[in-house]
Amino acid sequence: MKLINVLIFTIVIFFGIASFLKLSLMESFIFGLTIILLIQGMLACLAMLYSFLKPENLQEVLPPRILYGGGYFRYSLIVPAKNEEAVIRDTIKAMAKINYPKHLYEVLVVVRNDDLGTIKAVEKEISSLAFAMTDRQEAMTDKVNIRLVKIDGVIANKAYSLNMGWRCAQGDIIAVFDAEDEPHPDILKSVDEIFLQKKVDIVQAGVQLINVSSNWFSCLNCLEYYFWFKSILPFMSKLGATPLGGNTVFFKRKVLVKIRGWDENCLTEDADIGIRASAAGFKTSMIYVEEMATLEEAPADEWQFIRQRTRWDQGYLQIILKGDWLKLGNLKHQFLSFYLLIQPIIHQFSILGMLSIPLISLGLKVPLWLAMFSWLPFYFLLIQFGLYFIGLADLKKYYRLTFSPLLFIYLFIFFVPYQLILAFSSLRAGFRLFLGVFNWEKTEHFNIHRTVVTQ
């Protein structure tokens, strides 16, 4: 209710100012839209720059110094998988190599009964690992508990798989990983320290898409992830919003018990659970350092990408309509959560707006001051270009990527088409929601990220 009052008040003030300035309807529209774009641009740039504003900000998301030595909590790493035979074996291998007492963590690969290909791949890898262990005659305590959890049921989405998985889990901390993930060997040690030192209930660690040159949009996709996990999530977390990603996220068991796990009707179960956990009073901490980020791959083609984004956008719209974010503590948290949820949907429209509003002003006969004013949001677009440029250089450095220097130019050439494809996904999400279509459009994985990073 308070939020609506604030909205109404803002609209009244705006119309007051428009009347004072004697603006026509079209001029008021341009004026209002420019103000919105200015605010949006400013917040977006601030969020993207937050971790770089001062050295202390970056320090906040670095893994803590090891005080307790790791090995305190027991972890259950849940890996929902569907048609992932191409990637699941490598993922399981990577999980088995995690540098943490083997008796203190387990891996549960959750697969539907009818997904025979994935089941076969998982069983093969589990037995291969067991054979390798036996062959080396290692102690039983050094053997990782990797289990295949077969499920069935009407609902076929990630949230359902996670719920099935965590109910079989034995750990104190329930973690979520995707089927194509390449987690860092020291991830559990670092997360363990955070739980002990900061006394939080949820830890979100970093994820990074890494195949920057697979296709025309993958570079921009990877950069989105880079700034999202490195700066935007820490920024929102600092303000009190509780953004969560879909993997490399760790929950204390009591959190899942209290909020009753993931919402099986929601397409973005990660964002939803973050909102509900925050509304229930649970605290979240972020951790990000490039070397420790879980590596993933950007979708292989445009249609895969559109389906993925449609699913995410539709999920965010579902969460907004559900209204759990209105149960958050105060107006500030409610607004921040709403802003965070609406961002993936409006961000690309705002960028397109920053490009088109000045052109509209040029075409129409608006007062000179209004025409100049309408160009101001373009400044934030330039900042974002600059940030993407630096981000690409950072990714190249941290992950020792090799790609053509022309990629820096393609970044700018394909920026607008990328926003258009995102905008199309948002519109598609809106239509699907309107039509009541909620099926899970799964993204295929091809292990591209594992071939990209040079050792």
Closest approach, Cβ 339 to other proteins, in A, equals: 21
> How crowded is the C-beta side of 187, counted as CA atoms within 13 Å?
33
Question: Cα–Cα distance between 267 and 47 in angstroms, integer?
Answer: 25
Our CB check for other proteins shows the closer of 69 and 386 to be: 386
Our CB check for other proteins shows the closer of 31 and 75 to be: 31
Our CB check for other proteins shows the closer of 408 and 446 to be: 408
Question: Cα–Cα distance between 307 and 429 in angstroms, integer?
Answer: 9
Question: Cα–Cα distance between 74 and 174 in angstroms, integer?
Answer: 9
Full DSSP string of 15-48: HHHHHHTT--HHHHHHHHHHHHHHHHHHHHHHHH
Our CB check for other proteins shows the closer of 55 and 323 to be: 55
Question: Cα–Cα distance between 414 and 92 in angstroms, integer?
Answer: 35
Closest approach, Cβ 53 to other proteins, in A, equals: 5
Task: Tell me which amino acid residue 292 is.
Answer: M
Whether 294 and 247 have beta carbons less than 8 Å apart is answered as: yes
Closest approach, Cβ 407 to other proteins, in A, equals: 17
Full DSSP string of 312-324: HHHHHHHHHHHTG
Closest approach, Cβ 50 to other proteins, in A, equals: 9
Given the rule CB under 8 A, which residues bind other proteins? 49, 52-55, 58, 361-362, 368, 371-372, 375, 378-379, 382-383, 386-387, 389-390, 393
Which strand (E) or helix (H) includes residue 174? strand 173-176
423 token code pair: 């905008």
Closest approach, Cβ 55 to other proteins, in A, equals: 6
Question: Cα–Cα distance between 63 and 60 in angstroms, integer?
Answer: 8
Our CB check for other proteins shows the closer of 166 and 415 to be: 415
Question: Cα–Cα distance between 146 and 455 in angstroms, integer?
Answer: 27
Closest approach, Cβ 181 to other proteins, in A, equals: 28
Our CB check for other proteins shows the closer of 61 and 110 to be: 61
Closest approach, Cβ 362 to other proteins, in A, equals: 7
Our CB check for other proteins shows the closer of 55 and 436 to be: 55
Task: Tell me which amino acid residue 251 is.
Answer: F
Our CB check for other proteins shows the closer of 389 and 410 to be: 389
Q: Kindly report the number of other CB atoms within 10 A of residue 184's CB atom.
A: 23
Closest approach, Cβ 218 to other proteins, in A, equals: 23
